[in-house]
């Protein structure tokens, strides 16, 4: 089979690596890819939003299966563009990707189908939002309705902060049209867990759990980032939590989407908060998480291409997902200054240390080949992942492996998965 992967981050590198393990696959392309992905796939210079070019490429190369990694093209309707030409593609159509594309939609869906989530109201006028804040309880959470690179969520401790937030999102339009509508919701406390799942429209199969560290600095300080590291499984995702989520959240979401005429095929990523009143949905994403994928896929035993195909064909009920009884930790090596401003273009040394080392992986998030050298090309540069018999061992292995890599301005958190050791 020939496979095309759309995207250019650590998530797509992890997907490409897992696809490369499949016996069914003999050739992988990635658009646009990066310098790490180029070691296992042929990268093509087509952007993820260039739907016409992607479709033309898939036809020209007779691609058997295209996998969409990123949210923007999914929400923009890339799957519809492929299907229109009779091409096989993995991911939700535009009318289903709205589960991630509009937070107002997903909140209304959860309310209508009694799926546990924070209490909320949607607003499309700043005046009404400000009026509502007059009688609201604080802290409170403001969310831009549309895609905002994971940055459109404001936790506001006071009314003043919340008023400022309404201005930032709705009037100053910091996230453009994504802030035309906002969700104002109840502030919840608890442990966060990420759960990824495969969905074929009717059946949902849950992958092993993971947890992300979103803040830039140790001790969960500093600004929110795309994710500074992950671990899997989450010890807080217990059997009881799993049972609750199966009963009230997972299948309920898939059934709700079907009932709305928005059959969902692809990945649903459940962002969960384990509150005192039980698990609640923080958010849905319509794609694999980044960097959750970098710890989940190295633990997965199945041939992932078979699972992708089962989702497309509606036969996921025949698949049993299996994960290793171990743990994985991913530490992101970033450019110092991320997520605000940082320099790039520095040579990355030590990548060869990962060749033929079982259980150690280096997934590229932002790298580029320049004059035969791999250089840094983003805020998040690499995701160093290692597995181990448990979280403590995986963590020790991952941090050991971060020492094998060197580049100017290398920055990382030192406490990925640490709270867990102490738990």
> Left (φ > 0), alpha (ψ -120 to 50) or beta: where does 345 sit?
left
For position 292 contacting ligand AMP by CB under 6 A, the verdict is no
Q: Does 138 bind ligand AMP (CB under 6 A)?
A: no
Residue ranges with strand state E in 218-326 = 221-224, 229-232, 265-275, 278-285
Q: Which partner in ligand GLY, ligand AMP, none is near 415 (CB below 5 to 8 A by kind)?
A: none
- Per-position x/- string for 106-125, each x denoting binding to ligand AMP as judged by CB under 6 A, each - no binding: ------------x-------
Cβ-Cβ contacts under 8 Å for 305 (sequence gap 6 or more): 1, 3, 19, 22, 24, 25, 65
From 187, 322, 336, 345, residue interacting with ligand AMP (rule: CB under 6 A): 187
Residue 213 is given by DSSP the state: -
* Residue from 87, 129, 188, 398 binding ligand AMP (CB under 6 A): 188
Min dist. Cβ of residue 170 to ligand AMP (A) = 17
Interaction mask 195-234, ligand AMP, x per CB under 6 A: -------------------x--------------------
Q: Report the nearest approach of ligand AMP to the CB of residue 165 (Å).
A: 13
How far, in Å, CA of 322 to CA of 299, rounded? 9
Tokens of 295: 């710890």
Identify the CA nearest to 223 among candidates 7, 411, 408, 403.
411
CB of 190 to ligand AMP, least distance (A): 8
Residues that bind ligand GLY (CB under 6 A): 150, 212, 227, 285, 289-290, 292
Residue 153 Cβ, how far from ligand AMP at the closest point, in Å? 4
42 is a site residue for ligand AMP (CB under 6 A): no
The number of beta carbons lying within 10 Å of the beta carbon of residue 79 is: 25
Q: Which helix (H) or strand (E) holds 126?
A: helix 126-133
> Residue of minimal CB distance from ligand GLY?
289
Q: Which member of 31, 115, 142, 153 binds ligand AMP (CB under 6 A)?
A: 153
Return the one option of ligand AMP, ligand GLY, none that residue 290 interacts with (CB less than 5 to 8 A, by type): ligand GLY
The Cα–Cα gap between 113 and 146 comes to: 22
Q: What are the E-state strand segments in 59-203? A: 65-68, 89-90, 120-123, 140-144, 153-156, 182-186, 191-200
Of 78-86, 149-157, 286-294, 315-323, the segment contacting ligand AMP by CB under 6 A is 149-157
Q: What is the closest distance, in whole angstroms, from the C-beta atom of residue 275 to ligand AMP in the complex?
A: 9
- Omega cis (within 30) before 173: no
Q: Could you give the C-alpha distances from 10 to 62, 152, 267, in angstroms and in order?
A: 26, 22, 17
Q: Of ligand GLY, ligand AMP, none, which one sits near residue 188, judging by CB under 5 to 8 A according to partner kind?
A: ligand AMP
Alpha-carbon gap, residue 185 to 107, rounded angstroms: 10
Does residue 282 touch ligand AMP according to CB under 6 A? yes
Q: What mask of x and - would describe binding to ligand AMP in positions 378 to 417, judged by CB under 6 A?
A: ----------------------------------------
* CB closer to ligand AMP, 269 vs 354: 269
Question: Strand 327-335 vs strand 410-411: parallel, antiparallel, or unpaired?
Answer: antiparallel
Q: What are the structure tokens assigned to 31, written together?
A: 């658009």
Binding positions for ligand AMP, 8-27, rule CB under 6 A: none
Binding site residues, ligand AMP, CB under 6 A: 118, 141, 143, 150, 153, 155, 185-188, 192, 214, 271, 282-283
């Amino acid at each position: 089979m020939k496979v095309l992967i759309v995207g250019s981050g650590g998530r797509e590198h992890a997907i490409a690596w897992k696809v490369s393990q499949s016996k069914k696959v003999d050739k992988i392309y990635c658009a646009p890819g990066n310098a790490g992905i180029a070691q296992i796939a042929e990268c093509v210079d087509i952007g993820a939003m260039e739907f016409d070019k992607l479709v033309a490429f898939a036809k020209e190369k007779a691609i058997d299966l295209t996998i969409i990694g990123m949210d923007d093209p999914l929400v923009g309707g890339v799957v519809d563009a492929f299907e229109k030409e009779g091409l096989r593609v993995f991911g939700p159509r535009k009318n289903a990707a709205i589960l991630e594309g509009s937070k107002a939609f997903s909140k209304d869906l959860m309310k209508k189908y009694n799926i546990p989530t924070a209490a909320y109201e949607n607003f499309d006028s700043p005046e009404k939002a400000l009026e509502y804040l007059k009688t609201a309880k604080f802290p409170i959470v403001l969310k831009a309705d549309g895609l905002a690179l994971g940055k459109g969520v404001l936790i506001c401790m006071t009314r003043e902060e919340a008023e400022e937030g309404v201005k930032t999102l709705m009037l100053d339009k910091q996230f453009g049209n994504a802030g035309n509508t906002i969700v104002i919701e109840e502030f919840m406390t608890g442990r966060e867990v990420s759960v990824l799942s495969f969905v074929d429209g009717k059946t949902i199969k849950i992958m092993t759990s993971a947890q992300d560290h979103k803040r830039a600095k140790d001790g969960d300080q500093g600004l929110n980032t795309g994710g500074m590291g992950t671990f899997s499984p989450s010890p807080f995702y217990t059997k009881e939590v799993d049972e609750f989520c199966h009963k009230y959240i997972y299948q309920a979401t898939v059934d709700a989407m079907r009932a709305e005429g928005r059959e969902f095929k692809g990945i649903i990523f459940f962002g969960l908060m384990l509150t005192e009143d039980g698990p609640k949905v923080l958010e849905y994403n319509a794609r694999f998480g980044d960097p959750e994928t970098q710890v989940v896929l190295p633990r997965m035993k199945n041939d992932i291409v078979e699972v992708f195909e089962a989702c497309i064909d509606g036969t996921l009920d025949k698949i049993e997902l299996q994960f290793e009884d171990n743990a994985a930790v991913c530490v992101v090596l970033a450019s110092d200054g991320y997520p605000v401003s940082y320099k790039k273009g520095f040579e990355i040394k030590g990548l060869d240390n990962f060749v033929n080392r079982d259980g150690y992986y280096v997934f590229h998030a932002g790298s580029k080949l320049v004059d035969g050298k791999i250089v840094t090309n983003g805020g998040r540069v690499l995701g160093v992942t290692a597995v181990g018999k448990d979280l403590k061992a995986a963590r020790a292995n991952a941090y050991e492996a971060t020492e094998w890599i060197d580049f100017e301005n290398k920055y990382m958190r030192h406490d990925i998965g640490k709270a867990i050791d102490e738990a």
